[in-house]
Chain A
Amino acid sequence: MELFGIIVTGIGVVFLFIGSLGILRMPDVYNRVQAGTKCTTLGNFLTIIGVGIMQPEWFWKTVIIAVFVLISNPVSSHALGRAARKKGISLSDKSVVDKTKEFKGYK
């Protein structure tokens, strides 16, 4: 059982590291939102659940933390990306289409 927990935690740690690397290397605010949210949410879930598998007395509390992060992290990242777009921060030079210019309230 401990080996299974170590494997799950290791996969989660790799995802967390890839998310942080995407934060550093992506060219644009919106690409950074995407990299930093998807990878980090999955990596956090797997890491915390892996610790709960390795230590079965802590399992339900780790499930509570993991589910809370799974709900709250996309919500906060969506709010940040929407605020950045409404403020008028431009996209990177390589992006090809921007449909939000047709909407009301966006610059």
Chain B
Amino acid sequence: MIYLIFIAVISIGIVLCIIRMIKGPTAADRAIAMDTATTVSVALLVLLGFVFDRYIYIDVALVYSIISFVGLIAIARYLEKGI
């Protein structure tokens, strides 16, 4: 039961980030909202793996964090000086 509350609170956080991603005035706002949403969803994946007792979700979370790091570095470089 307590895990369901944890998962609900984290999901509400992701929804708040998505609202900022839709509203955001500049491109940097949207990139930062996406950064936060991916970081929060890594924690959500690990928690879901614990609740459903699936070990494979841990690997998914690791790969997801690595890919989001590389993508955000690419977005930052594009914002700074173009490709």
The complex places the Cα of A36 from the Cα of B80 at a distance, in Å, of 20
Q: Does A6 contact B (CB under 8 A)?
A: yes
For chain A, the bracket of interface size reads: 35 or more
Q: Which residues on the A side are within 8 Å of B69 (C-beta)?
A: 72-73, 75-76
Q: Which residues on the A side are within 8 Å of B73 (C-beta)?
A: 75-76, 79
How many A-B contacts at CB < 8 Å in the complex?
Answer: 142
Of A36, A51, A68, which one neighbours B65 at CB under 8 angstroms? A68
Q: Which residues on the B side are within 8 Å of A72 (C-beta)?
A: 65-66, 69
A9 touches B6 (CB 8 A): yes
B12 touches A16 (CB 8 A): no
B36 touches A23 (CB 8 A): yes
A55-66, CB under 8 A of B: which get 1 and which 0? 100100110110
The complex places the Cα of A77 from the Cα of B26 at a distance, in Å, of 16
Of A10, A16, A33, A54, which one neighbours B50 at CB under 8 angstroms? A54
With most chain B CB atoms within 10 A of its CB, the pick from A20, A24, A47, A83 is A20
User: Which 3 residue pairs spanning A and B have beta carbons closest together?
Assistant: A20-B13, A79-B76, A84-B28
A selection of 26 A-B contacts at a CB cut-off of 8 Å is A16-B13, A17-B12, A20-B14, A23-B32, A24-B17, A24-B20, A37-B36, A40-B40, A41-B39, A47-B43, A47-B47, A48-B42, A48-B43, A51-B47, A61-B62, A64-B62, A69-B42, A72-B65, A73-B35, A75-B69, A76-B76, A80-B79, A83-B80, A84-B28, A84-B79, A89-B26
Taking Cβ atoms with an 8 Å cutoff, the residues of A that contact B are 6, 9-10, 12-14, 16-17, 19-21, 23-24, 29, 32-33, 36-37, 40-41, 43-44, 47-48, 51, 54-55, 58, 61-62, 64-65, 68-69, 72-73, 75-77, 79-80, 82-84, 86-87, 89
